[in-house]
Amino acid sequence: MPVRRTLRVVRRYWRVAARRLEVHSAPARRAWRRSLQLRVVTLTLIASSLLVGAFGWFIAARSATILLTRAQEEAKVSMRNKIDYAEQQLTVNPQASDPKLPNTFELIVSQLADGDPAESGGSVVSMRAGQYPELRAATLPNVGTDELITPELAHAVSDDSKEASQVVTATLNGRTTKYLAYGAPVRTSFGHVELYYMMPLTTEDSAANQIRTTVLATGIALVLLLGVVAGLVTRLVVTPVRIAARTAQRLSAGLLDQRMKVDGEDDLALLAASFNQMAANLQRQIVRLEELSRLQRRFTSDVSHELRTPLTTVRMAADLIFAERDEFDPAVARSAELLQAELDRFESLLTDLLEISRFDAGFAALDAEHTDLVPIVERVAERLTGLADRVGVTIELRVPETPVIAEVDPRRVERVLRNLVGNAVEHGEGRPVVVTLASDESAVAVTVRDHGIGLKPGEERLVFNRFWRADPSRARQTGGTGLGLSISAEDARLHGGWLEAWGSPGEGAQFRLTLPVRSGDRLLAAPLPLIPRDRAPAPEEVS
């Protein structure tokens, strides 16, 4: 149990630390993602630091090796002279039992130390006879040699009778110094003795430290210089790109006269010139398209208004003929009925075109007032009952018993619902159409659900295009003008709301109108789902 409790505590503190680290590192991550110059300079500093560090380590190590090798060569040459001198002096002592042999040791060490130019640097000379423990070792200066002459070095010289060297660090007279300890056997008539020469590496260490310091300072200066150079070079490249980005943002905001400054004839200047040429071409194309759109809107509006006068005259004549159709032959009476129906369709088309032209011209205004949407939904369903009865469709209403008040334009909302319910009835394939109304604190929503042929994937965005029809093969005598859903989408957008569609082949379709409760508020969610709850699950969804 204590182990589990400890693990839980560790995990809890780890999560807290991770969250804090994430919070504090968020600005750094944001700066890393957004700044190309920061990434280039950082990567340059990292790469140059690794490269300069590896090169500096190689130079320092190589320099230290060279200094040590030179010291070893000097010690080897000096040791050879010392061995020759010691062998000459020991010829006067033919036996190890000679009582004068210790004095000879002292003399030899004294002469070798005095004759060594590195004496002032702290060199140590020692002679001893490992094979004859009774002989006292001689050392000058008189210091302990246990740290200088290690067992490995003594074994190589005494037992193996060969020259050997070793770098050791020893503390003599309170000072810690690195020494090059060199040992060699001195052959005599009674056997051999060992001669050890310990040369301090103070000068070599000082030179190596100076080299390392110089390499380190030079490396740091070089890395910083590379960072500065990388920052300057990157700035030369990034600055025009940033200017191009700002200019592009201004162009996208509608400031079509924005251009980049062209300096020089390099690649960046070519980029600026190409950007300016692209902006000029875009400006010409946009102006041209705006002019064409303006002419198109004006043509639609003018034609719609101009057709009103002859349509009124034709309507008057058609109404007279339609009123007297019972006195005509059956064929003529049928023609009068068809004429009346087509005039109704033509008049509806003209009305929709005029409404579209007002939206295009920006003259559409919202006459918002606090309205109860329940009567509007009921009124739309009642007016479409006749059409529903003719096609064998029933309209089911699911509305709250309490009023649903929202600040809307009742005329436009009724027109949207009339279009949605009318389309659902026409495409319902004889199955019920369900109209649902719901609201919350910030939004109201109306869904219109049919169970007809449905929509193919991607058509839920096309249904709001002008003159688009779900089934182009259908006869033009059925359906509306093709502008109803487009006008409805504009009405919803004028309210600051949404008009969305969902459909699936064979499962029908559902349209959802979502409007803010208070005019001008921003919508965040809808009280009703866009995908109906009664939708049949897909084959892959069935377990």
pLDDT of residue 542: 34
User: Which is nearest to 353 in space by CA: 297, 313, 293, 312?
Assistant: 297
Angle at 395 between CA 506 and CA 455, to 5 degrees: 25
Q: How far apart are CA 322 and CA 335, in angstroms?
A: 9
Residue 84, Cβ density class (10 Å: 0-12 exposed, 13-18 middle, ≥19 buried): exposed
Pick the CATH number of 89-204 from 1.10.10, 1.20.1250, 2.60.40, 3.30.450: 3.30.450
Instruction: Determine the residue type at 118.
Output: A
Q: 159: Cβ–Cβ under 8 A, 6 or more apart, which residues?
A: 130
pLDDT of residue 116: 42
Homologous superfamily of the 369-541 domain (CATH):
Histidine kinase-like ATPase, C-terminal domain (3.30.565.10)
Residue ranges, the chain, pLDDT below 50: 1, 115-120, 473-478, 538-543
- pTM check: above 0.85: no
CATH number of 259-364: 1.10.287.130
Give Rg (Cα) of the chain. 51
pLDDT of residue 474: 47
Q: How far apart are CA 491 and CA 487, in angstroms?
A: 6
pLDDT of residue 480: 56
pLDDT of residue 249: 81
Angstrom distances, CA of residue 155 to CA of 86, 146, 150, 194, 341: 21, 13, 9, 11, 124
- At 405 the three-state DSSP class reads strand
Domain residue spans of the chain? 89-204, 259-364, 369-541
Assigned token pair, 221: 């200066």
